[in-house]
Chain A
Amino acid sequence: MANFLYVFRGGGMGLQKLSPQEMQQQMQKWVGWVNDLRNKGHLKAGDPLEASGKTVRGRKKAITDGPYAEAKDLVGGYLLIEAKDIEEAVKLSLDCPGLDVEGTVEVRPIAKM
Chain B
Amino acid sequence: MSAPNLDFRRESARMTAALTRVLGFGNLALAEDVVQDVLVRALEAWAISGPPRDASAWLIAAARNRAIDLIRRERTRLRFAPDPAGEGESTITAAFTESEIADELLRMMFSVCSPVLPEPAQLALVLKLLCGFGTREIAAALLSSEAAVEKLLNRGKEALARSGTLFEVAGREQLRKRLGAVEHALYLLFSEGYHGSGEPVQEELCAEAMRLCGLLAQHPACATPRTLALLAMMCFHAARLPARRAPDGALLLLEQQDRSRWDRALIARGFALLDRSAEGDELSEYHLEAAIASVHCAADSVAGTDWARIVDLYDLLYGLRPSPVVALNRAIAIGEARGAEAGLAALGPLADEAKLSVSPFLAGALGRFQQQAGRTAEAERAFGEAAGKARNPAEAKLFRELQSQSRKK
Contact of B41 among A21, A26, A34, A51 (CB under 8 A): A51
Q: Which residues of the partner chain A approach B48 to less than 8 Å between Cβ atoms?
A: 30, 34, 46-48, 77, 79
Chain B residue nearest to A18 in the complex (CB)? B134
Q: A19 to B134, Cβ gap below 8 A?
A: yes
* B 362-396 binary contact with A (CB < 8 Å = 1; else 0): 00000000000000000000000000000000000
Question: Could you tell me the distance between the alpha carbons of A31 and B47 in the complex, rounded to whole angstroms?
Answer: 6
CB distance from A92 to the nearest CB of B (A): 15
Per the 8 Å Cβ criterion, residues 95-135 of B in contact with A are: 132-135
Chain A residue nearest to B49 in the complex (CB)? A48
Chain-B contact segment, one of A9-17, A54-62, A105-113: A9-17
Residue B176 is within 8 A (CB to CB) of chain A in the complex: no
Q: Which residues of the partner chain B approach A27 to less than 8 Å between Cβ atoms?
A: 8, 42-43, 46-47, 51
Question: Could you tell me the distance between the alpha carbons of A113 and B12 in the complex, rounded to whole angstroms?
Answer: 49
Chain B residue nearest to A6 in the complex (CB)? B48
CB distance from A6 to the nearest CB of B (A): 10
CB distance from B265 to the nearest CB of A (A): 26
Residue A24 is within 8 A (CB to CB) of chain B in the complex: yes
Contact of A21 among B40, B42, B134 (CB under 8 A): B134
Tell me whether A24 and B134 are in contact in the complex, defined as CB-CB below 8 angstroms, given that A31-B50, A76-B44 are known contacts: no
Q: A48 to B134, Cβ gap below 8 A?
A: no
CB distance from B42 to the nearest CB of A (A): 8
Q: B8 to A48, Cβ gap below 8 A?
A: no
Contact of A48 among B6, B47, B135 (CB under 8 A): B47
* B 43-70 binary contact with A (CB < 8 Å = 1; else 0): 1111111110000000000000000000
Q: Which residues of the partner chain A approach B315 to less than 8 Å between Cβ atoms?
A: none
Question: Could you tell me the distance between the alpha carbons of A51 and B38 in the complex, rounded to whole angstroms?
Answer: 12
Q: Give the number of A-B contacts (CB < 8 Å).
A: 76
Question: Could you tell me the distance between the alpha carbons of A31 and B6 in the complex, rounded to whole angstroms?
Answer: 14
Contact of B136 among A19, A30, A48 (CB under 8 A): A19
Q: A23 to B44, Cβ gap below 8 A?
A: no
Q: Which residues of the partner chain B approach A97 to less than 8 Å between Cβ atoms?
A: 47
Q: B8 to A20, Cβ gap below 8 A?
A: yes
Contact of B44 among A11, A22, A24, A34 (CB under 8 A): A11
Per the 8 Å Cβ criterion, residues 192-247 of B in contact with A are: none
Q: Which residues of the partner chain B approach A47 to less than 8 Å between Cβ atoms?
A: 48-49
Residue B29 is within 8 A (CB to CB) of chain A in the complex: no
CB distance from B263 to the nearest CB of A (A): 24
* B 259-296 binary contact with A (CB < 8 Å = 1; else 0): 00000000000000000000000000000000000000
Question: Could you tell me the distance between the alpha carbons of A100 and B218 in the complex, rounded to whole angstroms?
Answer: 42
Residue B175 is within 8 A (CB to CB) of chain A in the complex: no
Q: A20 to B11, Cβ gap below 8 A?
A: yes
Question: Could you tell me the distance between the alpha carbons of A19 and B133 in the complex, rounded to whole angstroms?
Answer: 7
Residue B36 is within 8 A (CB to CB) of chain A in the complex: yes
Residue B137 is within 8 A (CB to CB) of chain A in the complex: yes
CB distance from A38 to the nearest CB of B (A): 10
Residue B342 is within 8 A (CB to CB) of chain A in the complex: no
Query: Taking each of B8, B47, B49, B136, which has the highest tally of chain A beta carbons within 10 Å of its own beta carbon?
Result: B47
Q: Which residues of the partner chain B approach A77 to less than 8 Å between Cβ atoms?
A: 44, 47-48
Chain A residue nearest to B1 in the complex (CB)? A31
Q: Which residues of the partner chain A approach B337 to less than 8 Å between Cβ atoms?
A: none
Question: Could you tell me the distance between the alpha carbons of A12 and B43 in the complex, rounded to whole angstroms?
Answer: 9
Chain B residue nearest to A74 in the complex (CB)? B44
Q: A15 to B44, Cβ gap below 8 A?
A: yes
Per the 8 Å Cβ criterion, residues 71-110 of A in contact with B are: 76-77, 79, 97-98
Chain B residues near A (Cβ < 8 Å) = 6-9, 11-12, 36, 39-51, 132-137
Could you give 26 example pairs across A and B, Cβ below 8 Å?
A12-B40, A15-B40, A15-B43, A15-B44, A19-B132, A19-B133, A20-B11, A20-B39, A21-B132, A27-B46, A27-B47, A27-B51, A30-B47, A30-B48, A31-B50, A34-B47, A46-B48, A47-B49, A48-B44, A48-B45, A48-B48, A51-B41, A51-B44, A77-B47, A77-B48, A98-B47
